[in-house]
Amino acid sequence: MYIFSEKEMMLSPEDLAKYPFTAEAAKYVKDMGLTVEDIASQEFVSFLGRAKERIKEALQEDHIVQWPEKPDYRVEIMSFPVSIIIVLSTENSFLGKQYALAEAKRASKLLKDEKNEKIIRIASSSFKWDVQTVIGDMRQYYDFKLSFITYLKDAPIFHDYKWKLVNRFVNDGYVFLVKNELVRLIEEEVKKEIQRLVGGAKPKIPSSLTQAVEDLKPLIAKHYEFVRAEEPLLVMVEEAYPPCIRSLSENLLSNHSIPHLGRFTLTSFLLNIGMSIEDVVKLFTSATDFDENLTRYQIEHIAGKRGSGIKYTPPNCETLKTHGLCPGMDELCKRIKHPLAYYRSKLRLTKAGRVAVKSE
């Protein structure tokens, strides 16, 4: 197993600021000994200001909390738990997911520029992963090797074929990875950890933090309305399907091959507009490679009934275009950036949609 030198074992104040989800950053915050009331006081107003900025950045189009040009490391570290408290206090699961995603993407972006030893340090100390640098001849092909058990826990959420274990090089209980792949797995773990943090009970907060929550509500509402992917629509109107979903559905029913991301997109879309797990399973019986047990397991995972408990939503339009799953845009598509946003908009425009919504 890789052994750190004393120097490598230590994370600097800059590291803690970059990666506030780490165990070391949590200890730093604890050692500060500040209460919620302290943090909300005028003395620490910079913590609150940066926390609000972090949340606003999470709701921007690129969904990444930015690394400041001239960071104050103390403010960066302490604003993270403050932002968690604010997100918790909104009791808005949509914001919770967006914030977790944004912090995870930031971590991923920064980790790609770190030395391998630091990446190992962060993964092993914060997540208790058994991850090591690759030595010997395999070093020309791979950078890291990760415990088989850890890989199985995190990689199945990715639907690209390259992540499937059968397509990976495995030796002596370890899965071999290049740097970007390990960073992607860490990104997912960071997202899950932050979702856990923002998924707790609403804390009691002082008035200054209450005002911060109120100030953010219009912005949250604007972006929530844009995607509205958090709650099931519970209205099934095929006429309102976006072109990508119609194409995937037609290909499935015609026994045409659909890539893994396409199946994930179709499944998550149908679950989010109210189709039951049983009906989605039945839909996939037309697939030539249908395996009921495997299909049911995968659908239940996407529905949040297995694994992390997170109910997944379809990829956005940009991702679908990148993977060749956009068959071509209609006029409504040009104003929309997500399949579920398309569906909601189209639903309002269709006679069937108006009747269905009225009868709810």
Paired tokens of 42: 């005028």
Q: Torsion-angle region of residue 307: left (phi > 0), alpha (psi -120 to 50) or beta?
A: left
- Minimal CA–CA distance to 316: which of 346, 347, 343, 339? 339
Q: Which CATH number fits domain 1-227: 1.20.930, 1.50.10, 3.40.50, 3.10.520?
A: 1.20.930
Q: What are phi and psi of 147, to 5 degrees?
A: -45, 135
> pLDDT value at position 137?
86
pLDDT in tens, 176-205: 999 999 999 999 999 999 988 988 777 788
Instruction: Give me the residues of the chain with pLDDT under 50, please.
Output: 1-9, 227-232, 352-360
What are the domain boundaries of the chain? Answer: 1-227, 238-359
- Compute the distance between CA of residue 94 and CA of residue 210 in angstroms, rounded to an integer: 19
What's the maximum distance between 2 C-alpha atoms anywhere in the chain?
A: 69
> pLDDT value at position 235?
64
> pLDDT value at position 159?
62
pLDDT in tens, 130-176: 999 998 888 889 999 999 999 988 776 676 678 888 889 999 999 99
